[in-house]
Amino acid sequence: MSTSTDTLKAVFRLLLAILVSLLIYIGAWFAVDVRWYLDLRTVTITAPVANEAIPIVVSRDIHTDFNGGYSVTIREQPTNHVFCTSGDVAVPYRSETDPVEGKDLSWWAFGGDCTERIAPGLPAGDYTIETCHYVSRPLLILPSKRRCVLSGVFTVWGEELPAPIQRQIDGLERQINQLQSEG
């Protein structure tokens, strides 16, 4: 065999090895689950009042450091009409990050048109929140990995809470007052 034929074979083998490695890498990326990086289990909102800060309870774990981000979409129910969206917000996630405690919905849905629309709180009505986290893609040709979690439907009450909730609050206040007077 000639030297040029041997050189062509060596180049072909090298290109084939690179192609196979790239295909394995891309295949491995498609097998990645976002929960390996960040596991968002629930986003819960309970009995908020219109035009006030809306407390949020988030159950999540960040398992490893990674570059990624999130988006939040708030929808009016039962129409499923988009009230606002944060758009994709890039975040360098770190595993030592404190849990989400003592935060409100305006912090959670920061960005896009949500920043202005929910700063004073949500108007009275029924809503759901869809939170999507993504892991940034390792190569520009690959899609980012995304996982979304939908909250349950929650009601933002008008200026006054509905009677059953108000009765529960009044009963708890009476119990607290009674305990304080006995104490």
Chain centroid, CA 7 distance in Å? 53
The predicted-structure confidence for 49-83, as pLDDT tens digits, reads as follows 778 888 888 888 888 898 889 999 999 999 999 99
Instruction: Tell me: pLDDT of 110 over 70.
Output: yes
Q: What is the dihedral of CA 173, 49, 52, 149, to 10 degrees?
A: 110
The Cα–Cα gap between 83 and 117 comes to 8
Q: Is the pTM of this model over 0.75?
A: no
Q: What integer pLDDT is reported at residue 76 of this predicted model?
A: 94
